[in-house]
Structure 1
Amino acid sequence: MKLVFATNNLNKLQEVQKLIPSNIQLLSLKDIDCLEDIPETQDTIEGNAIQKANYIKENYGYDCFADDTGLEVEALDGAPGVYSARYAGPQKDANDNMDKLLEALENHSNRKAQFKTVIALSLNGKQHTFTGICKGNITQEKAGSAGFGYDPIFKPEGYELTFAEISMEEKNRIGHRGKAVAQLVEYLNQL
């Protein structure tokens, strides 16, 4: 089976490739010559994932899955949420985003947050969604050099290290994307 993973994020692609069974050939957007930016104009994480999966199916004809992820901070009423990638502006700079978030939380003692990933699968004319959540806290400062996005300031529940300080294997095991991908894989294995 061939499936397109609708992402230009090479970090995400590498993470997910390690989780997908070997009988599924994972294609990237580059593999199908999709070089344009796929629209993400919905106001929910679920909506963006569905929009991206539909875009590939409608414009390229491939069965596809797409994800959208947001960091939801309790003290900020769920922000940055669906706007996580461009929280500090359209340049989508991870350090700018983390700096803005740390500044927004400066006077907050409640640092509870969760990463939420929704995967939308368009397969054989049907659509399915899978949701993974990882609860944790926002740290006071950045720590670690692994991972990407907000990983250096997110400490998952039960851990003393940030996502940027643990291995990719461990992050995949406990993390939001790993949980959503596990549901996707379980579904695909039943076909």
Structure 2
Amino acid sequence: MSFYKFARSVVKLWLKSKYKVITVGTEHIPKTGPVIICSNHISNFDPPVVGITCPREIHFMAKEELFNNKMLAFILKHVHAFPIKRGMKDRNALRKGLEVLKDGNVLGLFPEGTRSKTGELKKGLAGAGFFALRSKATIIPCAIIGDYRGKDPLKVSYGPPIDMEGLRSEKASAQEVTDVIMEHIKKIKENY
């Protein structure tokens, strides 16, 4: 068993029991090929929650500071996370993200960049649109609904793929594509 699968099963056991995680819409996630999962961001627990609910292994970007701790850096690298410098254009992280997709893997993104302390969706950053336009990945919107207080179940809902053909033919900007992705996340949240 790989380290990823072992860590996933341990984290899944803990998170599902603590937060009563309910997952819907995983049938929308292609079984093979490059995929970008774009989710809202309400907690530090969001990456592991998306990681345990997605049927495929996910590669996440994580803020560079987390890799300063040697033990945490070891774990992050073995669960496919890679560092990104926040507040600036990080060419290495962009290159690594495109490489993940080129290899036919799943890239997990939180377009808002940082957590929303109110739970309300914030404006997404252009990075999600950049990856969507620069790759042939299927874009799957995802919404984490609820909170991490543990009273009510936490729902993770995956929506159908976002049609990128029109956006590509219209030569939409990265920000415009991100705005469309955020609208899809918003609709999923509103439906639950």
Q: TM-score, normalised by structure 1?
A: 0.31
Q: Which has the larger radius of gyration?
A: 1
Structure with bigger strand share is: 1
